[in-house]
Amino acid sequence: MEAFDQPWKTDIEGAVGAYWGVYDVERNPKFEFTQPIVPVPQWQLLAGISMVLALITFALLLIDSKTLRGHGRSFLAIVSYLAATTIVWIIYEYSSLYQTIGTIIIGLLMLVGMIGIFLVIMAEAHEWAEALWIKERRRYMKTIPMAEHDLPMVSIHVPAYNEPSTMLIRTLNALAKLDYPNYEVLLIDNNTKDPAVWQPVQAHCEKLGERFRFFHKDPLAGFKAGALNFSLQQTSADAEIVAVIDSDYIVDPRWLRDLMPQFSDPKVAIVQAPQDYSDGCQNAFKAMCYSEYAGFFYIGMMTRNERNAIIQHGTMTMVRKQVLEQVGGWAEWCITEDAELGLRIFEQGYEAHYIPHSYGRGVMPDTFIDDTKQRFRWAYGAVQILKHHARCLFSRRDCRLNAGQRYHFIAGWLPWFADGFNLLFNLAAIGWSLAMIWAPKQIDPPMLLFSLLPVALFLFKTAKLIYIYKSRIGASTLQTLLGGLAGLALAHTISRAVLQGIFTKGLPFIRTPKHAGQTGLRTVIASAREEILLLIALWLAVYAIVTIQGAESADTLFWLAVLLIQSITYLAAVIVAIVAAMPGWSARLIGIREIERPEKLLSNIENI
């Protein structure tokens, strides 16, 4: 202990060397010499600020929460208080340091990151509570009786580009078996060069009869959206509903008959069934992907449906033709034209219904490369949508979105933006670690509290995944872990897509191949080369810090934990890439079965 703090000692003794004094650098006593010493003299003020911040956060989370049970409210209250207390504690601890220009800049950057983590945790906690602890569903999918002659005519559009003819023929055969009196099928093949690919499909359409019409257009601009807009122009004048399915989907015969009566309500413009897949047990890689997809379709979409805020996805969707034409058709500037159309329709004040019941099954990407391309397109398209619709999402002018819809579209994509900034954090963490290695006396690890935040976010999201997957969608422990691993493996892809989406205007549509040939191990690992490099960099940083500085202090120990935790997403990508390269790894061999949906999932469906 010394008489006064001496900040100059930081250069030779590290951060601790500046704080040995009984008096601070301004010659003010650090504590009362005549009273008991307490670690935090201002604890009452800090506790009060924490309570106020927690109450504000809790109140915001409870807006429009009339169906939330007491357990859900208690859960949100606890999370709000813990998060608010942590933020106040971190700010207090950091403000007690002797500030320089450098520490102020670092503090502001970390404050931004801290707020981002806080928002993500709150959004995740809100979805957790609403997925588990609600009294009843607000928006029931009720069976509506409708006479045969009242069923509207449906135009089913099947866009295709360079798809295997055998697969398309199976799709057409399933459509021919639909139990519905009045429909047409328009298959639009755009830009396929080889006649041997599309001519057998054309011949099969002619064989199926006048209800099926085939179009081959080359060239045709606009990618999938361009093909759908062309199909809209060819649609029968009698059609009232446009339905879209992907070229690999085998539909249930009762798809149209069960769901079409929902359009008897003129306010309903979209009726959406989930994407589902027939190859979830084909191999271990696809089993992992199947489990990961389930989280969106049987958790996220169901909570969004409560506030009329679902994401429209481009297969198993039905749209009122009049509304589709009213809003200008499919957006050819956006590579996720389906989700963009759904938001545009909501902006006009219409409603959408989501039913968590499978009415058709397609195939998943065969390789990790294709899986990452698909997820890149989804994430990049989300940024395009948010940029294009920012005025409507963040203000009430010229827009009929309600508060719940705004919340879900912003909060729903917030974790993807967090992934984007997480990449920047990881690069900064590697840089900071290099500085610690280069100048161990002058550069200390970040404060323990800053290190706690990424760890807390990771643990919170992991706990949510395990708890909700097992209790809400009926996944086994193995399916839950594999689904989580598949999701983590895509985090770097999402981060790149988000950052590119922020700083660029548009990228071409990236098609997901169907029945692509399995690639070799070297090719698949090459698809994760960025993840491999970042994984090695983080692990080398841990090794070097332990070798040079040791791991005795709590700050250093937690910083090492942060580096290791941040490397998990990159390790997951490598593992999933290896699994994808070995299609011989049978799903059943390692004990994976198809997810059996629990009956409570269908609690918002009556008699379907």
pLDDT in tens, 331-390: 999 999 999 999 999 999 999 999 988 999 999 988 899 999 999 999 999 999 999 999
Span 194-223, mean pLDDT?
Answer: 94
φ and ψ at residue 190, rounded to 5 degrees? -110, 125
Q: What are the beta bridge partners of residue 115?
A: none
Give tens-digit pLDDT for 577-592: 988 887 766 555 555 5
Q: Of 202-211, 278-287, 317-326, 530-539, which range is least confident?
A: 278-287
Q: Which pLDDT score is estimated for 14?
A: 57
| pLDDT value of residue 599 | 45
> Is there a contact between 465 and 459 (Cβ–Cβ < 8 Å)?
no
pLDDT band for 269, please (50, 70, 90 cuts).
Answer: very high
| Mean pLDDT calculated for residue range 16-37 | 64
Render pLDDT for 389-441 as a digit per residue (tens, 0 to 9): 999 999 877 789 999 999 999 999 999 999 999 999 999 999 999 999 998 87
Pairwise CA distance, residues 311 & 303, whole Å = 11
Residues 183/156, Cβ–Cβ less than 8 Å: yes
Lookup: tokens for 574:
């490598």
DSSP state at residue 580? H
Per-residue pLDDT tens digits for 53-72: 999 999 999 998 889 999 99
pLDDT exceeds 90 at position 309: yes
Q: Are 319 and 348 in contact (CB under 8 A)?
A: no
From residue 292, give the alpha-carbon distance in Å to each of 199, 372, 385, 474, 484: 36, 13, 23, 13, 6
**Is the CB of residue 81 less than 8 Å from the CB of residue 118?**
no
Torsion sign, CA atoms 214, 320, 328, 249: negative
Find the mean pLDDT for residues 445-469: 83
The more confident residue out of 213 and 35 is: 213
Question: Six-digit token pair at 579?
Answer: 């699994």
Q: Is residue 476 pLDDT above 70, yes or no?
A: yes
pTM listed for this prediction:
0.88
Between 38 and 313, whose confidence is greater?
313
Residues 6+ apart with CB under 8 A from 196: none
* More confident position, 411 or 105: 411
Greatest CA separation for the chain: 98
Average of per-residue pLDDT values in the chain = 87
Hunting for tokens 């759904």 — which residue is that? 342
- Exposed / middle / buried, residue 474 (Cβ in 10 Å: 0-12, 13-18, 19+): middle
Q: Which stretch of 228-237, 259-268, 432-441, 592-601 has the lowest confidence by average pLDDT?
A: 592-601
CB < 8 Å & 24+ apart, contacts of 349-352: 349/400, 350/267, 350/268, 350/269, 350/270, 350/320, 350/323, 351/265, 351/267, 351/268, 351/269, 351/270, 351/308, 352/268, 352/269, 352/270, 352/271, 352/272, 352/305, 352/308, 352/310, 352/312
pLDDT for 607 beyond 50:
no
179-183, 188-192, 291-295: least confident range = 291-295
User: How many CB atoms neighbour CB 488 within 10 A?
Assistant: 22
Give the pLDDT of residue 413.
Answer: 93
What pLDDT, on the 0 to 100 scale, is given for residue 26?
65
pLDDT for 171 equals 97
Q: What is the mean pLDDT of residues 196-208?
A: 95
How many Å apart are CA 569 and CA 133, to the nearest integer? 30
- Could you tell me which residue, 582 or 258, shows the higher pLDDT? 258
**Residue 301, token pair as written in the block:** 């979409």
Cβ neighbours of residue 243 closer than 8 Å, sequence gap 6 or more: 154, 155, 156, 157, 256, 317, 318, 319
Q: How far apart are CA 594 and CA 608, in angstroms?
A: 22
Work out the average pLDDT over 136-157: 85
Mean pLDDT of 122-148: 85
Rounded distance, CA 178 to CA 148, Å?
14
Residues 6 or more apart whose Cβ sits within 8 Å of residue 577: 368, 489, 524, 525, 527, 528
- Give the pLDDT band (50/70/90) at residue 17: low
pLDDT at 608: 43
d(CA 41, CA 59): 29
Alpha-carbon distance of 421 to 116, in angstroms, equals 9
> Is it the case that residue 180 has pLDDT exceeding 70?
yes
Of 412, 399, 409, residue with least CA distance to 349: 399
